[in-house]
């Protein structure tokens, strides 16, 4: 029974006991029959990373896909904000204040500057409390 590419790589990636502690070069030299299912690009990938453990190389090779270029597999795109763009915890505005007010009070709040005015007033009050 012949092995497909995925069969061969999956067996190597999961770590056959026969190859525990082996490098990719050692597996290539052992002429394991499962290697016949690999593509030429996969074999050159194994040769180029011959000093690494065979499980690591097989997992990387599985992630590359058949049509991937010869180089290293691309890193997955990092999700979320780019590093260094978030504020330190003490400066983040992540708490919310909700209060019920009258229409007139809401209009006055908007006229005074809304959230920015409220933040400035709270900061001013906090400074006064520290001085006392």
pLDDT over 70 for what percent of the chain?
88
User: What mean pLDDT comes out for the span 11-35?
Assistant: 79
Is residue 8 within 8 Å of residue 34, measured between CB atoms?
A: yes
Q: Report the distance separating Cα 86 and Cα 65, nearest Å.
A: 35
Which DSSP string corresponds to 30-56?
HT-GGGGGS-HHHHHHHHHTTTSBHHH
pLDDT, tens only, 55-79:
888 888 777 665 444 556 666 777 7
**Selection from 11-20, 34-43, 90-99 with the highest mean pLDDT:** 90-99
Is residue 3 within 8 Å of residue 36, measured between CB atoms?
A: yes
Phi, psi of 72 (to 5 degrees): -65, 150
Question: Is the pLDDT reported for residue 4 higher than 60?
Answer: yes
Beta-carbon-side half-sphere exposure of residue 105 (alpha carbons within 13 Å): 5
Is residue 61 within 8 Å of residue 24, measured between CB atoms?
A: no
């Amino acid at each position: 029974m012949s092995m497909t590419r995925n069969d061969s790589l999956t067996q190597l990636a999961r770590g056959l006991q026969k190859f525990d502690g082996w490098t990719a070069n050692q597996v290539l030299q052992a002429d394991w029959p499962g290697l016949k299912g690999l593509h030429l690009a996969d074999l050159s990938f194994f040769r180029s990373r011959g000093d690494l453990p065979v499980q690591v190389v097989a997992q990387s090779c599985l992630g590359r896909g058949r049509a991937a270029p010869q180089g290293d597999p691309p890193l997955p795109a990092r999700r979320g904000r780019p590093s260094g763009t978030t504020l330190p915890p003490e400066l983040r505005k992540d708490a919310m204040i909700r209060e019920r007010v009258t229409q007139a009070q809401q209009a006055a709040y908007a006229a005074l500057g809304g959230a920015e005015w409220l933040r400035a007033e709270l900061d001013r009050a906090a400074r006064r409390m520290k001085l006392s």
